[in-house]
Amino acid sequence: MSQPSQHRPAVVVYSGGMDSFTLLHRALHQHTDVHALSFDYGQRHSRELGMARQVCQTLGIAHQVVDIRAIHGLIDNSALTDPRQAIPSGRYAASNMQVTVVPNRNMMLLSMSIAKAINIGARDVYYGAHAGDHLIYPDCRPAFVEAMNQAAGLADFNPVTIHAPYLQAAKADILADGIRMGLDYRHTWTCYQGEELACGECGSCIDRLEAFAANGIEDPIAYRPS
């Protein structure tokens, strides 16, 4: 007899940012055995990874940081992986945020997450693509998720399903879901900079601040003075 779905293990792609933080807790509401996967691919800073470690330790859930820095030379033509490039400021727009695209990132991370799922007998992989990313990042769009789901269903004799529950949701909607779950967003990092305080000026910070404003609450993390 197969296990009920809530008792089967599940894998969550967990960066340590506010979207994946919300996703992690949503998965915890649906599964009793959650395995969080974070990836070190040579990104410019490790603040998110540090947050991810702390959160998983506090929750007492399995957490693995996968070191894939060896691929850095394949994906270094991005402002998020090349420290010589300036991080763009201002709201998300194709004109200024295109430089933050990390080549094929989600396909690689999902592929490894599917492997993890197969390895531990999980049938569910969660990742936090959302509607606000559709304009800039092709690997966050519905067509990509659908194609990856088809591949995941063929990669093993026991199909794995990729869940992107926020695929059509705005960041403010994701935050609203987290607020309903009583989550504390002090334990997340969103800023593209890896400094002591969030910059408040990059697209990621602006998107985050606008999500909190839309929900009528103040962001609990500290920002450097403007």
As annotated, the binding site for Zn(2+) includes: 191, 199, 202, 205
- Look up residue 105 and give its amino acid: R
The annotation places the binding site for ATP at 14-24
How many angstroms separate the Cα of 108 from the Cα of each of 30, 58, 68, 209?
25, 28, 10, 29
The annotation places the binding site at 14-24, 191, 199, 202, 205
Partners of residue 62 on adjacent β-strands: 35
Cα 193 to Cα 220: distance, rounded to the nearest angstrom: 18
How many angstroms separate the Cα of 54 from the Cα of each of 12, 14, 33, 50, 61?
16, 12, 18, 6, 11
* Cβ within 8 Å of residue 172, ≥6 positions away: 210, 211, 214, 215
Give the dihedral of Cα atoms 145, 151, 156, 157; nearest 10 deg. Answer: 100
